[in-house]
Amino acid sequence: MVACVGQQAISGHRVPDGFDQRSLPHFKRNSKTPEAKGFVQNSFYSGLTPTEFIFHTMAGREGLVDTAVKTAETGYMQRRLIKSLEDLCLHYDSSVRNSVGEVVQFVYGGDSLDPASMEGINKFETQKKKVDEYCIKKDDDPPEEPVIFERALYHITAKYPCSDELPLDTETLIMLSDEIINESFMDVHENYVSQLRRFFIDQSSRLRRIREKFGTFAMSDVPPVLRHLERVTKTQLQEFLNFCKEKYMKAMIEPGTAVGAICAQSIGEPATQMTLKTFHFAGVASMNITQGVPRIGEIINASKVISTPVITALLDINDDLEFARRVKGRIEKTLLGEVSDYLEEVFLPDSCFILVKLNLERIRLLQLEVNADTILYSICTSNIPEIKGIKPQNITIHKKDVLLVKPFVSSRGTCYYILQQLKEKLPLVVI
């Protein structure tokens, strides 16, 4: 408002040349100055110049059109999703079925838990950055578990002080917890049970550390004040496990829930807040992948041909740059023009040819497994129509980094015409 409005972006780029090699007739041809390319250096307080105002309205118009188009697209997409999933519902055997009883999922979500009842993620000592990190949901973590055990234990120890009981030692804590879990947690998913067991192993190692620090192993001999350090009594343990089981049972999804409609809405609602435009990888050339609404459209329509197919492949040796370059060189399409210093026409009294000078240093750095012989084979087998008639006898390997390509006899034109075609098309040969 007061300092500077800044650069105006249209489709993620500066203002394009829409008027005879310039953005507006007020600028010189091919002008690349900030003013000609949509940089607004005035503030709304000082007032925009007429050209700045036009560029600012161009960017604003794009936003308005984008919003109007996006709501229609995402609305229609959500409607199709809901129509296709509307009959999925949870049955009393905890399976998800459609209106004719076909099973879509045997156990809803793999664990029958309602995502709306999840509290957070339990981080165990192996996953914690700091030893005293609190196990509570971060904004970027999806909440996955119905109870945050650490918080639940604090709650239970505060609610049931049990000051007249002696605390459990580390071995008894694990033994007693295993006993109660085996007895009472028969109908609880094995993942949840294993999380609980991991939590008790964590707690016992924490108790052991504190008791080593203060020398309080024999609890009957220590002063009463030291008994209250990280103490867990038998009653507290029983109440804690009851609380964890109760929370788990409450978090289970109810039969009859319209899980299909909820699923469709859960995809549709964030889609309405997305932008239509594709986003770009910062600083990576030629890596503009389709995201946002167009990508969701591709997924939902199950398009056979997608706009930017991307595969992420893991390397067997993932710490060697040379190895990675070699793999990249084998996979990637490399053109002759990319590894050549120059291609030039040479006219001699008795012959004429195209001289191709290879850059061997670039080939070595990129770990490309090519040489003059493989390039000769690639030229002869190329699918480019203009050079399809070329034969091995038309190409001479002069040195290991120099090839001479002579024009071949063709009904398409004169020798000079063929030479010009070769000069234009040879850089496009895939090697």
Segment 134-156 mean pLDDT: 75
What percentage of the chain has pLDDT greater than the value 70? 90
Q: Which residues contact 404 (CB under 8 A, 6 or more apart)?
A: 346, 353, 354, 355, 356, 395, 396, 398
User: Contact 208/144 with Cβ under 8 angstroms?
Assistant: no
Q: Which residues contact 163 (CB under 8 A, 6 or more apart)?
A: none
Alpha-carbon gap, residue 126 to 195, rounded angstroms: 13
**pLDDT above 80 for 123:** no
Tell me the CATH number at 36: 1.10.132.30
In 3-state terms, what secondary structure has residue 178? helix
29-48: per-residue pLDDT in tens? 888 999 999 999 999 999 99
Q: Where are the alpha helices (DSSP H) in 215-339?
A: 224-227, 234-251, 259-272, 292-301, 321-331
Q: Which residues contact 381 (CB under 8 A, 6 or more apart)?
A: none
Per-residue confidence (pLDDT) for residue 337, from 0 to 100: 85
Distances (CA, A) of 427 to 53, 261, 423, 431: 45, 55, 8, 10
What is the CB neighbour count within 10 angstroms for residue 108? 21
Q: What is the mean pLDDT of the chain?
A: 84
Per-residue confidence (pLDDT) for residue 287, from 0 to 100: 55
Segment 332-345 mean pLDDT: 86
Alpha-carbon gap, residue 67 to 73, rounded angstroms: 10
Burial of 138 (C-beta count, 10 Å sphere; 0-12/13-18/19+): exposed
In a domain, 123, yes or no: no
**pLDDT above 90 for 53:** yes
Q: Which residues contact 235 (CB under 8 A, 6 or more apart)?
A: 160, 162, 165
Per-residue confidence (pLDDT) for residue 276, from 0 to 100: 58
What percentage of the chain has pLDDT greater than the value 90? 31
Nearest to 229 by CA among 213, 210, 244: 210
In a domain, 292, yes or no: no
**pLDDT above 90 for 356:** no
In a domain, 209, yes or no: yes
In a domain, 127, yes or no: no
Per-residue confidence (pLDDT) for residue 284, from 0 to 100: 46
In 3-state terms, what secondary structure has residue 367? coil
Alpha-carbon gap, residue 332 to 232, rounded angstroms: 61
Per-residue confidence (pLDDT) for residue 40, from 0 to 100: 93
Question: Which of 251, 272, 291 is the last residue before a domain boundary?
Answer: 251
In a domain, 79, yes or no: no
Alpha-carbon gap, residue 431 to 372, rounded angstroms: 10
394-425: per-residue pLDDT in tens? 888 888 888 888 887 776 777 788 888 888 88
Predicted structure pTM score: 0.62
In a domain, 129, yes or no: no
What is the CB neighbour count within 10 angstroms for residue 97? 17
In a domain, 108, yes or no: no
**pLDDT above 70 for 133:** no
Q: Which helix (H) or strand (E) holds 403?
A: strand 402-405
In a domain, 93, yes or no: no
Q: Which helix (H) or strand (E) holds 192?
A: helix 190-214
Segment 129-142 mean pLDDT: 52
Query: Residue 222 belongs to what domain range?
Result: 142-251
Per-residue confidence (pLDDT) for residue 143, from 0 to 100: 72
Q: Are residues 246 and 338 in the same domain?
A: no
Nearest to 10 by CA among 69, 75, 57, 70: 57
250-261: per-residue pLDDT in tens? 999 999 999 999
Fill in the amino acid letter for 427. P
Into how many domains does the chain fold? 3
Question: Which of 72, 90, 120 is the last residue before a domain boundary?
Answer: 72
Q: Are residues 146 and 67 in the same domain?
A: no
Q: How confident is the model at residue 134 (pLDDT cuts 50, 70, 90)?
A: very low
Burial of 129 (C-beta count, 10 Å sphere; 0-12/13-18/19+): exposed
Question: Which of 39, 72, 105 is the last residue before a domain boundary?
Answer: 72
